[in-house]
A and B are shown apart, each in its own frame.
Chain A
Amino acid sequence: MSVRLVVRTFSELCITVGALIVLFVVYFLFWTGVKAADAAEGEIDTLRSQWAREPAAPAPPPASASAKPSAPSPSPYRDGKPFATMHIPRFGSGWEWPVLENTEVRTLQKGLGHYSGTARPGDTGNFAVAGHRRTYGDPFKDFPKLRPGDAVVVNDGTTWFTYRIAKQPHRTVPTDTAVVDAVPRGSGFEGAGRYLTLTTCEPEWGSSHRLIAWAHLDATRPVSEGKPPELAG
């Protein structure tokens, strides 16, 4: 009698644990994506209405990568708040994610995270951004497909910044913080410049390494002149 009770309770526990695991997998693979898509959309809406409300000062005259930095009013970015959108045509024409300030867990659940303390888009230095490769919408799922010359377009409300990927994604270890230095180590860049660094995890489902992509600023275009050609097609 009591043996039966023990066996029954044990099997019920096993079934419960199994159901829990299945539910967690559903949450992890599916539900985080739903949440992230929702959150990212909300952040982009926030940005758009913010930009519409306070149209930033008339954009500086069209500048090529060699022109003067456009830094009239650098008010600091607020932690966890969006300040730009990013578009990478290689990842799909509809690929658009908000870039939020800092790289904390909660921030990265809503979009891409800007490494606090690295440069702003278009500025001299390194504009470094981290994103999930899997779960939370899989923003950087196709990261290894990046090729030299691919465009990474950033919009901060006043200007479209078009960066060009310099080389194929580079694999490194999580402690290699020099990859987001102003002149990133291992990138092949020499001397100060306007760079962009993207980081995500490697392997796809693991965390033993990081995958890094570097780009340099190729062109800028005031928002008033419309989307850059990279996004038109």
Chain B
Amino acid sequence: MYGWIWRHLPGNAWVRGIIALVLVLAVVYALFQYVFPWAEPLLPFGDVTVDGASAGGAGAGR
């Protein structure tokens, strides 16, 4: 998988390395900005209200 990506990047080893780094940073940014904020409420740590529901902080009740 990673080998395949590496072979398909253009340029010499330095250019490929820089492009790969940019790709990694882009993936990390997307994870922090979009994926993790979406996934986080599915975990139970955010439940701090008494609302009669087990779903994360629905906040409906009182």
A residues in contact (CB < 8 Å) with B: 8-9, 12-13, 20, 23-24, 27-28, 31-32, 102-105, 107-108, 113, 115-118, 128, 130-136, 140, 172, 174-177, 179-180, 199-201, 205-207, 210, 212
Contacts and interface: CB of A to CB of B under 8 A. Distances in A.
Interface residues of B, number: 28
Interface of B: 1-3, 28, 31-32, 36, 39-41, 43-54, 56-59, 61-62
A103 B49 CA distance: 7
Given A23-B32, A28-B36, 15 more contacts: A9-B1, A12-B1, A23-B31, A27-B32, A27-B36, A28-B40, A31-B36, A103-B48, A104-B58, A130-B48, A130-B57, A200-B48, A201-B46, A205-B45, A210-B50
A180 B52 CA distance: 12
B45 A103 contact: no
A133 B61 contact: no
B42 to A, nearest CB: 11
Contacts of A206: 44-45
Contacts of B59: 102-105, 107, 113, 115-116, 130
A199 B62 CA distance: 12
25 contacts: A13-B1, A24-B31, A24-B36, A27-B40, A28-B36, A28-B40, A31-B36, A102-B59, A104-B59, A113-B59, A116-B59, A128-B62, A130-B59, A132-B48, A133-B48, A174-B54, A176-B50, A177-B50, A177-B52, A179-B50, A201-B48, A205-B45, A206-B44, A206-B45, A210-B49
Nearest to A212: B50
Nearest to A178: B50
A180 B50 contact: yes
Nearest to A176: B50
Contacts, number: 104
Given A102-B59, A117-B62, A24 B48 contact: no
A28 B50 CA distance: 23
- In the A-B complex, list the 8 residue pairs whose CB atoms are closest, starting with the nearest: A103-B59, A207-B44, A207-B47, A130-B49, A27-B36, A175-B52, A103-B49, A201-B48
Nearest to B24: A19
A27 B31 contact: yes
Given A24-B36, A115-B62, A108 B52 contact: no
Nearest to A13: B1
Given A23-B31, A31-B32, A175 B50 contact: yes
Contacts of A9: 1
